[in-house]
Amino acid sequence: MKFIVCDSYEEMSREGAAIIAELMKKKPDCLLGLATGSTPVGMYRELIRLHEAGEIDFSAVRTYNLDEYYPISPENEQSYRYFMNHNLFDHVNIKKENTHVPDGSAADPDAACAAYEAEYQATGGADIQVLGIGQNGHIAFNEPEEKLYAATHVTGLTQNTIEANARFFASVDEVPTRAMTMGMGTIMAARKIILLANGKNKHAAVEAMKEGRITTAVPATLLALHRDVVVICDREAYHG
Ligand code: F6R
């Protein structure tokens, strides 16, 4: 696991975008695994800037997102589908049919998760998977538990995550209590992983990754088993 410690959120965003832009230049039809949340927004903004500057082309890029609330309509402004359209896809020349987010409106969420997993695995996995990290060390919606799932699945959100995400909703009661999420094995299928973390409230989780020991109590520590992980963080997240 490699750590890149940056002076600011903007620098982190540029670092992350530079890694993705380099891949896109080498492999125009690359497959990107994408995350939502507040952390990658700056990186998406930088990718949009690079696209507008004529440096990167999304016309052949394919994307698979980590997760989605359940149940939620893709038109709901709090859905991760809406988030991705609004923060990235609507501003670049990506083909919408090449973008994939778990379907929060599926009638049978378990079947939808199984289909998402099969379709994703059939691609051979992402060239780069982007991750954020929860204060409790969750990645995607893989929350600290004794047992973690390998594949895409439906999961309940912890109170901690519901409260952390309540800032995006009118009230805490409106935060969906379930989600569809890639599992640990799905995430590990990517050839390269970049994890972004900023702010002091992410320090404990980053510290657990620095330790290099593995526990399902901090799901992100399992990334130590992957051979190409780059953690891009600011000084607060790294040093506390
Ligand atoms: C989002 C996701 C989550 C977030 C994490 C951090 O797709 O999978 O695990 O990455 O909750 O969220 P922020 O960036 O809002 O602190």
* pTM for this model (two decimals): 0.97
Residues acting as catalytic residues? 67, 136, 138, 143
- 211 CA distance to ligand 1 middle (Å): 21
Q: If you take atom 8 of ligand 1, which residue's CA is the nearest one? A: 140
- 167 CA distance to ligand 1 middle (Å): 13
**Residue written as token pair 């935060």:** 175
- The best mutation among 80, 87, 133 to test binding of ligand 1, ranked by most ligand atoms within 8 Å of the C-beta, falls on 133
Calculate mean pLDDT across residues 149-154: 98
pLDDT of residue 7: 98
pLDDT of 164 > 90? The answer is: no
Cβ atoms < 10 Å from Cβ of 146: 6
Residue 194: closest CA among 62, 28, 57, 43 = 43
Q: Which atom of ligand 1 is nearest to the CA of 181?
A: 8
| Maximum C-alpha span of the chain | 47
Does 181 contact ligand 1 (Cβ within 6 A)?
Answer: no
Q: Which atom of ligand 1 is nearest to the CA of 39?
A: 14
CA distance 24 to 27: 5
CA distance 56 to 24: 7
- 100 CA distance to ligand 1 middle (Å): 17
Q: If you take atom 3 of ligand 1, which residue's CA is the nearest one? A: 140
Residue 128: closest CA among 63, 199, 59, 205 = 63
pLDDT of residue 88: 98
- 56 CA distance to ligand 1 middle (Å): 25
pLDDT of residue 159: 87
Q: If you ran DSSP here, which 8-state letter would residue 200 be given?
A: G
Does 37 contact ligand 1 (Cβ within 6 A)?
Answer: yes
Q: What is the pLDDT of residues 68-88, one digit of tens each?
A: 999 999 999 999 999 999 999
pLDDT of residue 34: 99
pLDDT of residue 167: 87
Residue 66: closest CA among 12, 122, 142, 162 = 142
Strands (E), 96-228: 99-100, 128-131, 153-156, 178-181, 193-197
Q: Which two tokens stand for residue 45?
A: 């903004």
Q: How far is CA 134 from CA 33, 61, 200, 202, in A?
A: 17, 27, 12, 7
- 76 CA distance to ligand 1 middle (Å): 18
Residue 68: closest CA among 124, 116, 126 = 116
pLDDT of 157 > 90? The answer is: no
Q: What is the pLDDT of residues 171-201, one digit of tens each?
A: 899 899 999 999 999 999 999 999 999 999 9
pLDDT of residue 168: 85
Task: Give the list of residues 6+ apart from residue 29 with CB closer than 8 angstroms, or none.
Answer: 60, 61, 62
Task: Give the list of residues 6+ apart from residue 39 with CB closer than 8 angstroms, or none.
Answer: 132, 133, 196, 197, 198
Q: If you take atom 12 of ligand 1, which residue's CA is the nearest one? A: 37
CB 207 within 8 Å of CB 240: yes
